Structure 1
């Protein structure tokens, strides 16, 4: 019987695969040996950026290398998400992901999905809120709704971009209140807030934490929050929509994720750092000062939460008219 021989080309392929696997294992064992990029798919100054920078500052205690925040805004987070998802899966580029990761694909605004990532940890959750200038004519959310009904399509409401969670929140508000708004997209919450301050839009639907400084200095006023319960000071006196018999609670979660295929040892290292950082009083205090909600979930729980949102938001979005 003639002995079976593996062709030379196949032997070379096997050898190269073995070398590649060995190199990957060695690289994972050596991780991290240089700074790690933290890709924020939003402009500087917004809630996602503030959370990411607070995480990077505190994580220095628990990670061998620094996290460097890189802002890549645009297309309602799709540009930053794609940059992180398409990176080499070696743990040196970590995406700061948000609920937009499940919204954009459902709206057909982004091809990649949460399946293109391995979740590391959820770090935060914040509701949407209706905020206007302090000199606006509406003192209550009821007055705001009444005026919007009188002027269908005329009320200019800023959001973080087409298909962004704040855009979806405003569309859900329309659906629940029988109003028609004029949605004005921006590349993140920060420029939307600046436009409101400048009087270029009449309201915004970003999170309370993102407008807190301007509420405290008397330039802006929050009329209602889209949460199950009232928030702590300085929003303790602000009613929820549910208190006003409007059944709407919607907001954003934010967390960390790496490209699919990242070695398990690398993911475990990042999860360990995320867990310790999230529990650190310095990080908790930073979230409180920015009025950002603490909501930690580890990798498996975070993944399960993303899957639940993907299904539940798909049902919500199917009922809404999102102006693209």
Structure 2
């Protein structure tokens, strides 16, 4: 890695004191971490935290490479055709599944080597503050009582489409799913009264709740969000929706077992490193660490869950 790139990465992340963990031997000297997202978002932030930890705690240098074109297809192509020696990794989340299931990408998770999960973040279902809905049950009951009159704003083809489909299924398919664009576009449409409910990140939702413009009805998870424990979960309200956005590390098919073992060693250290946990939570995410076996099982379940909403 060049001195300039190393410097930029250090500027992008808070300083973490060097820990006492042993340096992990990695089978190649440099690693490209391919991120199918633009710089500055949650996926990019998580990837840079992972890359920085990787570099500080192993004998390899790392570089984050953003390849947002094609909704993840370009990044997946880069990794699928790379040498499986561990020098090229993919860092992505459930949008990998939605792109495949919606026909926008030929790549499926099991065409790669699942290695680890690193962090997760949550979204909430939010409504305007002037609505009568104070719980998810209130919203669902209103939708069922007035079929095809309430709309969910989403971005078609993305993970928010799945979250909209999940809510609509819980409401007996009585709601309309509307393509309302990016999160900022959805917020504008919600506040402007063009749509009735949206999914949005916990951090952004809390800002609008604090400003007295929105109500956050539910976090889409089985457990409360560590950064917003005051928001009830979907499951606690009797709605079986759990769709956290889990950042996952993949390699090319048949990746070198030595590289997998080395990354698993780093994942184990992350779980014991309180400074790593604090940095992740500062970014509005939580630590969600799995080894290669656990990641394969998680992805199989995650894909099946998302696939079920595409067929409802």
User: Which of 198, 204, 209 is the matching residue for 2:198?
Assistant: 204
Quick check: 1:172 aligned with 2:163? no
Check conservation: 1:41, 1:73, Cα contact below 8 A: yes
> Secondary structure in 2 aligned to 1:95?
strand
Query: 4+ residue stretches of structure 1 with deviation over 6 A?
Result: none
Quick check: 1:302 aligned with 2:295? yes
Quick check: 1:225 aligned with 2:214? no
> Secondary structure in 1 aligned to 2:38?
coil
Distance 1:157 1:38 in 2: 32
Quick check: 1:158 aligned with 2:148? no
Kindly report the root-mean-square deviation, in angstroms, between the aligned alpha carbons of the 2 structures.
Answer: 3.3
Distance 1:206 1:230 in 2: 16
Distance 1:109 1:64 in 2: 38
Change over 3 Å in CA distance of 1:266–1:125 after alignment to 2: same
Taking the TM superposition and a 5 Å limit, the aligned residue runs for 1:245-324 are 245-314=238-307, 316-317=308-309, 319-320=311-312
How far did 1:256 drift? 0.7
* Structure 1: gaps (5+ residues): 1-28
Change over 3 Å in CA distance of 1:88–1:221 after alignment to 2: farther
Change over 3 Å in CA distance of 1:213–1:65 after alignment to 2: farther
User: Which of 79, 84, 87 is the matching residue for 1:92?
Assistant: 87
Change over 3 Å in CA distance of 1:109–1:62 after alignment to 2: same
Change over 3 Å in CA distance of 1:197–1:53 after alignment to 2: farther
Check conservation: 2:89, 2:250, Cα contact below 8 A: yes
> Secondary structure in 2 aligned to 1:96?
strand
Distance 2:272 2:212 in 1: 33
Change over 3 Å in CA distance of 1:177–1:228 after alignment to 2: same
2:4 counterpart residue number:
none
Change over 3 Å in CA distance of 1:114–1:232 after alignment to 2: closer
How far did 1:121 drift? 0.8
Check conservation: 1:89, 1:261, Cα contact below 8 A: yes
Distance 2:121 2:95 in 1: 13
> Secondary structure in 2 aligned to 1:260?
coil
Quick check: 1:37 aligned with 2:28? no
Change over 3 Å in CA distance of 1:310–1:232 after alignment to 2: closer
Change over 3 Å in CA distance of 1:139–1:289 after alignment to 2: farther
Which has the larger Rg? 1
2:184 counterpart residue number:
193
* Structure 2: gaps (5+ residues): 1-24
Check conservation: 1:210, 1:290, Cα contact below 8 A: no
Quick check: 1:115 aligned with 2:114? no
Distance 2:204 2:252 in 1: 28
Change over 3 Å in CA distance of 1:277–1:230 after alignment to 2: closer
Change over 3 Å in CA distance of 1:265–1:231 after alignment to 2: closer
Check conservation: 1:42, 1:71, Cα contact below 8 A: yes
Aligned residues, how many? 282
> Secondary structure in 2 aligned to 1:60?
helix
